[in-house]
Amino acid sequence: MYFSSFSDISFSNIANAAKPTNYHLVFVAENSADEAQLVIDSFNSHNLKLFGGIFPTIFSDLQNYDTGFLILQIPPVEQVIRLSAKDDNFYDTNVDLDTVGTAILLTDGLMGETDSFLRKIYNFFGNQMNIVGGGAGFITLKQEPCIFTNEGIFQDGGVMALLKSQSQIGVKHGWEVFDGPFIATSTEKNIIKELNWRPAFEVYKEAIEGNSNYAFKEGNFFDIAKVFPFGIYKEGTEFVVRDPFILNEDSSITCISEIPENSMLQILTGNPNTLINAAKEVAEMTINPKTHSCLLIFDCITRVMYLNERFKDELEAMKTVFEPEGSKIRGVATLGEIASNGMGFVEFYNKTIVACSLNS
Amino acid sequence: METKLEIVRELSLLYELSLSIGGSLDLKKTSEDFLKVWMRQKNIDFGSIWIENKHLDLENPNQFSLIFAHPHFLVIDQTETLPDDFAETLMQQKAIQVCTEDTNFQYFKKEKNIKSGSYWFLEIPNLGFIKFFFYEKNPSQKSFNLRETKKTEKVLGKLSIALQSCLLHNKVITETEQKNKYQKEIKKLALVAEKTDNAIVITDSKGHIEWANDGFMRISGYSIEEAIGKKPGSMLQGPETNQETVAYIRNQIKEEKSFRAELLNYSKTGKKYWIEFSIQPIYDDNGLLINFIAVESDITDRKNKEVELNEAKEKAEESGRIKQEFLSVVSHEIRTPLNGIIGMSNLLQKTQLSPQQSDYLNTIQISSENLSLIINSILDFSKIESGLLNIQVIPFNLKKILQNIINSNEFKAEQKGLGLFLKLDPKIDSHLIGDGIRLSQVLLNLISNAIKFTISGKIELEIRLVSKMNNALVLEFIVEDTGKGIPDKMQKIIFESFTQEDSSLGRKYGGTGLGLSISQKLVSLMGGELKLTSQENVGTKVSFILGFPINQEPTSLPENSTVSDSVLIGKKILLVEDNTMNQFFAQKLLEGWGIKVDIANNGKEGVEMFGRKHYDCILMDIQMPEMDGIQATKIIRQVNKYIPIIALTALSVEEEADNFKSAGMNDFITKPFEAEYLKKKLIEYMLFFQSYSISSPKSKQTKTVQTYNNSLLTQMMKGNQVQIRQMEQLFVNQAEEVIKQMHQYFLLENWKEIGLLAHKLKASIDMLQITNLKQEIRKLESIEKNKTEKRVVDELIKNVTETLRNVCLLIKNSHK
């Protein structure tokens, strides 16, 4: 349920409606971040359990809010674990992992070690459960405490809730090849230094300016780059999107997450229609006609920004799929999306919409 | 038909795969780089690289070992065996897919969480294979096929070479490290060889010197250049070199044996020196003899010292032997005249003497007895030292020994106001087998020390049963006093010979300082260890543990110790003794006890006289002309098994005791002997003999009730009649005075003073064994404490007075 301000929240109603043992998933919109601690304190004083994060925006039904709170009842949670990115042996649980169907993972979206953190999660929790979630944080891209449990608000690492519920996960972005292929002949983690043995920006600029009306000027890199992300080839799925977001002085380009050296990249682009269509497809992948399910959407903040006015259409497109099934749209704009449908790695996506329906 | 983009993708994969190889010379890193690219691009769920053990120098050469896996948590088994036909097919086809429905899927399903899907095995030429897995649901599974794998064949060839390079690199690194380690060790060894004090010489197989170290130069005086090419023997051996050793060395070398020897060598300047050396043959890998290594050390000093030591040892042994001989002679030569002195002074004592003469004689007696004690101590000690003292294994009566010890020390203790207690575990058997005399000696020494060094309190002799078996028991003997104690630092020293805690103690308490040392050694000879714990001003505890076999057939000697001396009256004794002074002394002594004595001058005479007449006992000297005592005894025993024969000997008897026994002697008495001891032995054996003798009628033993008995006093005074009389006289004086005073205090009803008088007299009454008064005097002692009625006190004093007067009268009469 959405609350526009802390004072609107009726904790006694929540307490009455909830089983005392179960957790609430709480999303806080960036502009209400100051009140996040009040929410946690109130949950504690009512003996209610919660976990959640602060995100640039939150959405409920067709509305996208930059203030307020979403307090969601979800199927029973077995355990909530606070995970540190720095500790190699962070995991010690008495929950039998074979019985876990789904894990909701909220990470600090601006921590530096997301890729290795997710690898660690994969190695610990294996590949027998669905993992879904996204990076929390602020649109200012300044790292601050943004994930929380009853114990307080943290930064670095993540919070993981283990649920017995099975789930369906949909992942899609709708971005398509604009130009390529290029070979990332020199990279260092999330920095592309060379494309096709030349300074990366030189090649990137040439490709975009040569095939569109966009022209790079001082200070407009991100404005253009949000329209032209990189895509890494992955057999049998869409390209894995990597968002370029900083142009460095040495003409290298810093992306949101890691680019393997010598990998083949495409420059992608999208138009609102393909993106919105992808959202619809995600909704269709996720829908489970058998059960009345709880629906969660992790949609990249760059899509929200790119679609701008038309973001409402993306929500609308999903709503058309979900509404006949009785599911409401609730979700957050994320700094990176996380999904693993029980096969292969826990992937960190950019510019992607990840949806999950939890069987109740 | 593939699109251009698809071709680019394939090229990109091959490009990325190719570039992932060779980034590192680390086997695992190369494997990881390669697999991760492929797995990412092809969306592969699990991948691993395996190499055959023979390339890794591991056991089971045909097995495969895991090099890298991703994700690693799925791995259960780190080793893999491919069925032969499967391995062959893989070699031919380069790639094999194994799906859920395939029969060998279960065989290869060795990772966690895998239920269904498909495995891919890709050959890494000449090395091993890659194992991939796709889950059933993985959409990329379908696009991975034989066409796909065909494209990567060449890259896999490159991977193989890269991995082989890594292996080679590892090998080289390991070998280099090993080599460096060896070189370091060799350097170290070379340095040791060069700098050691020992000479080290390496020869070829024929014995020609190839190398020698500085040590060789220093010892032999030859330079390395002079030595090289020569045989050590030709350079170093000279006229005094032992040729037998040289022959031995040649033989050992010929037989290519390693050995040790000592040899006299000559240096370049002709100086003789001794070496001890070891020679080791060295073989090459084919087992062919290539070198000998000799390590030599200069032992000239040691050799010289050995000679000196040998000389010193011989000297020491000689002087030990001389000392022993000397002591033996001293023993005999001193004991015989001493026996005369003691005997004669005893006899002299019985004659009419002026008080002054009696005094002088007394001093002579005390001095000679002390001298006798000291000589015995010194002899004991020297015998122990030279290992000549043997411990007897004969039956003895423990209770008797203990009682004797207590009896003979009770007076001394009481004189000093000390309690002397015997605590004997009633479970202890009395009839044991061992050296009762030595045990008694030790305990006497410990008790006498305890009394000596204790001013107040008590001395306790405790015998504790440690354990008991069927026919043996282990006893702990504890002598504990409340004396001045021994300081910690002195506790070890006092066991040393001739040492007392403080040299002034000798002057104050007397003694040779040998007592404790002898006791310790005797205990040790009997198989125990003397332990001492002491606390200054609290007391000292000396203990030892000994084991004794139980005597299953105790000799049934009459236990009646109150047998009267009268048993001796009229007995006939044959004294076989060549020394006229001894004859005289013994004769007078024996006659003094009412015994009839015949004298034989040697063994031969003794045998003859025994044949002619009946005797109740024979006292037999050992060393005599014509026929010695042993021989004589043997002859007598042929005709009479029962007559007691007691050896009189000045020899150190322990080593002879067996001889005496085997000759048929019943016992022995060491000269100079104590009259009482002789008397005791005679009574003992003659009573014993009576029970066997058919010719001698049994005398009726009458137990006379004596008012007093001076046997304890006699024992205490060692039979010194002058002293005994003095003591008795003292008692008479004291008793008369006490009687007088008691009556005075009775009139005043001063019970306290009467108690004190009783206390004063108590020890003397016990001493003279006035048994009638034993209880009475104690009652009197405590009349105050017990608030006794006047009537009873009167009665007690009357009784005491009457008995004391009788005793005094008897004493006075005996002194007339």
Cβ distance A127 to B45 less than 8 Å, yes or no, reads yes
Q: Tell me which of A172 and B336 has the higher pLDDT.
A: A172
Strands A191-195 and A198-199: antiparallel
CA distance B161 to chain A (A): 21
Question: What digits encode the pLDDT tens for the residues A84-111?
Answer: 887 766 566 667 777 888 999 999 998 8
> Which of A200, A165, A169, A157 shows the shortest CA–CA distance to A182?
A200
Q: What is the mean predicted confidence (pLDDT) over B345-363?
A: 83
Please answer whether residues A18 and A43 qualify as being in contact, where contact means their C-beta atoms are separated by less than 8 angstroms: no
Please answer whether residues B604 and B634 qualify as being in contact, where contact means their C-beta atoms are separated by less than 8 angstroms: no
Same fold, B4-170 and B196-304: yes
- Confidence band, pLDDT 50/70/90 cuts, at residue A256: confident
CA A99 distance to own-chain centroid: 25
**Where do the structural domains in chain A lie, given as residue ranges?**
2-172+274-359, 176-269
CA distance B71 to chain A (A): 6
Interface test with B, best of A176, A195, A235, A258 (most B CBs within 10 A): A235
Strands B645-649 and B617-621: parallel
Nearest CB to A236: which of B74, B113, B143? B143
CA distance A298 to chain B (A): 23
Q: Which residues does B contribute to its contact with A (CB < 8 Å)?
A: 5, 8-9, 12-13, 15-16, 19-20, 36-37, 40-45, 71-74, 112-113, 135, 137-144
Nearest CB to B139: which of A236, A262, A342? A236
Residues on chain A touching B42 (C-beta within 8 angstroms): 235
Structure tokens, A28: 């806080």
Question: What digits encode the pLDDT tens for the residues A16-68?
Answer: 887 877 899 999 999 999 999 999 999 999 999 999 999 999 999 889 999 99
Cβ distance B72 to A344 less than 8 Å, yes or no, reads no
Residues on chain B touching A183 (C-beta within 8 angstroms): 12, 15
Cβ distance A234 to B137 less than 8 Å, yes or no, reads no
Q: Amino acid identity, residue B232?
A: P
Query: What is the CATH architecture assignment of B714-815?
Result: Up-down Bundle (1.20)
Model pLDDT, residue A111: 86
Is CATH 3.30.450.20 what the domain over B196-304 is classified as, yes or no? yes
Nearest CB to A262: which of B8, B15, B139? B15
Quick count: other Cβ atoms within 10 Å of Cβ A45? 10
> Which of B24, B311, B313, B274 shows the shortest CA–CA distance to B163?
B24
First to last CA, chain A: 17
Question: What digits encode the pLDDT tens for the residues B242-299?
Answer: 899 999 998 998 888 889 999 999 999 999 999 999 999 999 888 888 999 999 989 9
Q: What SS3 state is found at A5?
A: coil
- Confidence band, pLDDT 50/70/90 cuts, at residue B589: confident
Cβ distance B12 to A181 less than 8 Å, yes or no, reads yes
> Which of B519, B545, B497, B512 shows the shortest CA–CA distance to B389?
B519
Please answer whether residues A38 and A6 qualify as being in contact, where contact means their C-beta atoms are separated by less than 8 angstroms: yes
Residue B699, pLDDT > 80, answer no
Residue B558, pLDDT > 70, answer no
Residue B153, pLDDT > 50, answer yes
Q: HSE, CB side, 13 Å, CA atoms: give it for residue B431.
A: 9
- Confidence band, pLDDT 50/70/90 cuts, at residue B409: confident
Please answer whether residues A143 and A254 qualify as being in contact, where contact means their C-beta atoms are separated by less than 8 angstroms: no
Distances (CA, A) of B560 to B135, B403, B666, B683, B715: 110, 14, 20, 11, 18
Distances (CA, A) of B533 to B486, B518, B544: 9, 18, 12
Q: Tell me which of A59 and B8 has the higher pLDDT.
A: A59
B8 → chain A, closest CA residue? A181
Task: Look at the block and give the residue holding tokens 């999330």.
Answer: A190
Question: A83: which strand partners?
Answer: A158
Residue B703 CA to residue A111 CA, distance in Å, equals 118
Cβ distance A235 to B140 less than 8 Å, yes or no, reads yes
Is CATH 3.40.50.800 what the domain over B390-549 is classified as, yes or no? no
Please answer whether residues B48 and B69 qualify as being in contact, where contact means their C-beta atoms are separated by less than 8 angstroms: yes
Q: At what angle do helices B751-767 and B774-781 cross, to 10 degrees?
A: 150
> Which of B195, B232, B198 shows the shortest CA–CA distance to B216?
B198
Question: What digits encode the pLDDT tens for the residues B359-408?
Answer: 888 888 878 877 877 777 777 777 777 666 778 778 888 988 888 888 77
Model pLDDT, residue B506: 45
Residues on chain A touching B36 (C-beta within 8 angstroms): 260
CA distance A226 to chain B (A): 24
**Where do the structural domains in chain B lie, given as residue ranges?**
4-170, 196-304, 320-383, 390-549, 565-704, 714-815
Task: Look at the block and give the residue holding tokens 């070992």.
Answer: B65
Please answer whether residues A71 and A135 qualify as being in contact, where contact means their C-beta atoms are separated by less than 8 angstroms: no
Residues on chain B touching A124 (C-beta within 8 angstroms): 73
Model pLDDT, residue B694: 33
Q: What SS3 state is found at B99?
A: strand
Nearest CB to B43: which of A181, A237, A263? A237
Model pLDDT, residue B560: 42
Question: What digits encode the pLDDT tens for the residues A302-344?
Answer: 899 889 899 999 999 999 988 887 788 899 999 999 998 666 6
Please answer whether residues B151 and B14 qualify as being in contact, where contact means their C-beta atoms are separated by less than 8 angstroms: yes
Please answer whether residues B39 and A294 qualify as being in contact, where contact means their C-beta atoms are separated by less than 8 angstroms: no
Residue B376 CA to residue B331 CA, distance in Å, equals 8
Give the long-range contacts of residues A88-94, CB within 8 A, separation 24 or more.
A88/A120, A90/A120, A90/A124, A90/A157, A91/A124, A91/A125, A93/A162
Residue A155, pLDDT > 60, answer yes
Interface test with B, best of A124, A230, A233 (most B CBs within 10 A): A233
- Confidence band, pLDDT 50/70/90 cuts, at residue B770: confident
- Confidence band, pLDDT 50/70/90 cuts, at residue B653: low
Model pLDDT, residue B513: 61
Nearest CB to B138: which of A183, A262, A343? A343
For chain A positions 61-100, those within 8 Å of chain B (CB to CB) are none
What count of residues does chain A have? 360
How much of chain B exceeds pLDDT 90, in percent? 25
Model pLDDT, residue B787: 79
* A305 reaches B (C-beta below 8 A): no
Residue A351 CA to residue A174 CA, distance in Å, equals 9
Model pLDDT, residue B69: 93
Cβ distance B113 to A128 less than 8 Å, yes or no, reads yes
Strands in A99-166 per DSSP E: 102-108, 130-136, 147-149, 152-154, 158-163
Nearest CB to A235: which of B8, B42, B74? B42
* A140 reaches B (C-beta below 8 A): no
Q: What is the mean predicted confidence (pLDDT) over B139-150?
A: 86
Highest mean pLDDT among B201-215, B341-355, B380-394, B773-787: B201-215
Range scoring the smallest mean pLDDT among A192-206, B41-55, B154-168, B797-811 = B797-811
Residue B701, pLDDT > 50, answer no
> Which of A69, A70, A91 shows the shortest CA–CA distance to A80?
A91
The mean of the pLDDT values for chain B is: 83
Model pLDDT, residue A316: 93
> Which of B659, B708, B704 shows the shortest CA–CA distance to B813?
B708
Residue B97 CA to residue B84 CA, distance in Å, equals 16
Residues on chain B touching A181 (C-beta within 8 angstroms): 5, 8-9, 12
Residue B792 CA to residue B794 CA, distance in Å, equals 5
Residue B199 CA to residue B215 CA, distance in Å, equals 4
Residue A177, pLDDT > 80, answer yes
Question: What digits encode the pLDDT tens for the residues B472-508?
Answer: 889 999 999 998 888 887 777 777 655 555 555 544 5
Is CATH 3.30.450.40 what the domain over B4-170 is classified as, yes or no? yes
Question: What digits encode the pLDDT tens for the residues B44-89?
Answer: 889 999 999 999 989 999 999 999 998 887 888 999 999 999 999 9
Q: What CATH class is the domain B320-383?
A: mainly alpha
Model pLDDT, residue A342: 60
Cβ distance B12 to A123 less than 8 Å, yes or no, reads no
Residue B239, pLDDT > 60, answer yes
The mean of the pLDDT values for chain A is: 89
Residue B299 CA to residue B736 CA, distance in Å, equals 86
Cβ distance B12 to A263 less than 8 Å, yes or no, reads yes
ipTM: 0.75
Interface test with A, best of B7, B8, B68 (most A CBs within 10 A): B8
Model pLDDT, residue B652: 57
The CATH number for B565-704, chosen from 3.40.50.2300, 3.40.50.1370, 3.20.20.150, 3.40.109.10, is 3.40.50.2300
Report the helix count and the strand count for chain A, using DSSP H and E: 8, 27
- Confidence band, pLDDT 50/70/90 cuts, at residue B683: confident
Question: What digits encode the pLDDT tens for the residues A287-299?
Answer: 876 655 678 999 9
Residue A260 CA to residue A187 CA, distance in Å, equals 7
B5 → chain A, closest CA residue? A181
Q: What is the DSSP letter of B43?
A: T
